[in-house]
Structure 1
């Protein structure tokens, strides 16, 4: 019985050593990738951070053809070789994934705040344009201050132009 306990304890202690047979590299988008498969051939050597404990397999991705020129009679053999050589999808670093999600959420919140701010500005512009249009539609005299700081009463053409401008603001901002 004591021997069985020691055997189980030994197996438990040796279990983490199997995790050392991992590959670690940085992919094209800058993410750390952990896998039990070798990285794809397009990953440069400088981006490989850790190799598996055993010597790395050939990085060609495909097995070489027979030297005597005898091709396989099976039609599916090349496809089977390609499928076997294709790398499995790598596991992505969890921390990096969480940071990316957090950054995306912050960006969405920033965009929502900006959209809310723009909607508030449009609503204020709409209200001002409606008040101005009501003033011009009432028919009372309206004075404007010129570049010299003098008050000038608007004539009918200036009133019509201002009414047209206010109407375009109402059409664009009051939706």
Structure 2
């Protein structure tokens, strides 16, 4: 059994979560903030009800008559969230582009080094499909030089 004091405390903690906060300026130019709007004058709603209260209000509005219109509650942080999402997407794209550029530069450096080694005339060996060492002959060397020059021309300019 829940003690009455604990139950009361739990109920009191939920009340501020559903409250709206209003802002208005009085005749003397002072700005006031309160959970109740003034009887007259222009009022700004600074914080609306939480999502749970909004969902409950929408359910009540949909259960009501067809001719009634529901009040649309706009989250004041929506533009901020959209801007943060756009900034995060731009940062992720910039990071991906930077990583792609680093990988391209690494490939170009490695391809140019291989081309220099092939053009130098030194003996070059590779491992074949059986895992045995195989030296490149002149025809294979010229094919490999042509392939590397083509890749460098396409990717490294």
1:49 Cα deviation after fit: 3.7
- For residues 1-175 of structure 1, the aligned pairs below 5 Å read 13-15=38-40, 49-50=70-71, 93-175=75-157
Task: Identify unmatched segments of 5+ residues in structure 2.
Answer: 1-26, 33-37, 46-65
Q: Which runs of 4+ in 1 moved over 4 A?
A: 16-20
Number of matched residues? Answer: 100
TM-score (ref. length: structure 1): 0.50
TM-score (ref. length: structure 2): 0.55
Task: Identify unmatched segments of 5+ residues in structure 1.
Answer: 1-7, 21-44, 52-91
